Amino acid sequence: MNPVLLAIIKAAVVVFFNLNLVALMVYLERKLVGRIQHRVGPNRAGPFGLLQPMADIVKLILKEDVTPRGADRWIYGLAPILAATLAFIGYAPIPFGPPGWQVADINVGLLYMLMISSLTVYGVMLGGWASNSKYSLLGALRSSAQMISYELGLAGAVVAVVMVSGTLDLRSIVDDFQAQGGLGWLPGWNIASPLLWPSFIVFSICAYAELNRVPFDLPEAEGELGAGFHTEYSSGRFAMFFMAEYAGLATMSALAVTLYFGGWSGLGWFDLDRLPAWLGWYSTIAPTVIFFTKQMVFMVGAIWVRATLPRMRYDQLMNLGWKVLIPVATANLVALALFEAASQRWF
């Protein structure tokens, strides 16, 4: 098949899947947070409120699309498009199955992910500035400072994985786990190595901050800033910011699974070749099912965190980023480098 056509089809399928995932996540988040807070959550539209996302979409699209007076029209329109586009194209180099199950096999896939994450700040910043509203501008400035700060921690944490795997290619990182083999009944995922635990912890915290999720959702601190950078947005444009947040969460979860939890490889407790012949089709899709199951664990974890933790204060956030996470990531890198050097020399 024509490789360009194949790439377009793959990209369309992945974007379609992620769009539906966003709808599902909105429902799941409201339902789970409700459950955790002893409420019922949405329960009117359809059985168990399952049609709630549909109702939300219709409501959002039918609302009036307001552009504030004095807003910079071009940039005001551009910001949500930029946010949504970047959130969706971030998924491209993630390998969600054996070779071929990936939109773009880039040999610097990991750097590509960091690149997209460093560009997401534009949506927030421009949206806040173009609204011509002081709350939006304050939210935008806060969030850009936050996102720039936590990007450093994120990159530092990710470099540790690169040092262990020796490659920037996401597919090779996953293959590297499988080559290692496991320890007894444990699979040989990167997280099995204690030297990568600090890196994983820093990565998770920074990922929440990059995504502006609770406990780091300062850009939209309701009590102080209205709704932060998207105070003035309504209708479809607001929906795009909303989608971008959940798509970003999906991408970050997929990255965490790829880097630390073995990507599409299973636990290895069951040999798929032993399935009866009529279930043979399952062994084809099993890696992808495994991958999305792991990804969902992370996404549900993010909802849980949201329902549990209070929001941090701004100075606490900055102190945590610069004085705790970046030093920890750096120390972890030095320890890993010493260990690698020692193991090459003596073991």
Partner 1 sequence: MAWPHVTCFGISSALAITAAVMVVTRRNAVHAALWLAVALVSTGVLYLTLSAQFLAVLQVIIYAGAIVVLFLFVVMLLNVNEDQATDRRRWLAVVGLALALVWGAGTALLLLAGPPAGTGLVVRTPGDVALRGTAEELARAVFEHHALAFELVSLILLAAMAGVIALARRTPRGAEEIPGKRGSP
- The three-point CA angle 57-60-62 to 5° equals 105
244 vs 131, 163, 178, 344, CA distance in Å?
18, 31, 33, 44
For the window 154-193, what string marks contact with partner 1 as x by the rule CB under 8 A?
Answer: --------------x-------------------------
Nearer to partner 1 by C-beta: 123 or 215? Answer: 123
Single-letter amino acid, residue 69:
R
Q: How far is the CB of 1 from partner 1 (least distance, A)?
A: 16
Give the three-state DSSP class for 171: helix
Euclidean distance between CA atoms 247 and 257, whole angstroms: 15
Euclidean distance between CA atoms 176 and 249, whole angstroms: 25
With beta carbons less than 8 A apart as the criterion, state whether 290 and 257 touch: no
Nearer to partner 1 by C-beta: 156 or 287? Answer: 156
- Choosing from 11, 145, 227, 289, the residue that interacts with partner 1 (CB under 8 A) is 145
Binding of residue 289 to partner 1 (CB under 8 A) = no
Nearer to partner 1 by C-beta: 24 or 141? Answer: 141
For the window 121-140, what string marks contact with partner 1 as x by the rule CB under 8 A?
Answer: xx--xx--x-------x--x
Euclidean distance between CA atoms 125 and 88, whole angstroms: 18
Binding of residue 315 to partner 1 (CB under 8 A) = yes
Nearer to partner 1 by C-beta: 140 or 225? Answer: 140
Whether the ω angle into residue 3 lies within 30 degrees of 0, i.e. cis, is no
Name the residues that contact partner 1, by CB under 8 A. 4, 72, 75, 106-108, 111-112, 114-115, 118-119, 121-122, 125-126, 129, 137, 140-141, 144-145, 148, 151, 168, 314-315, 318-319
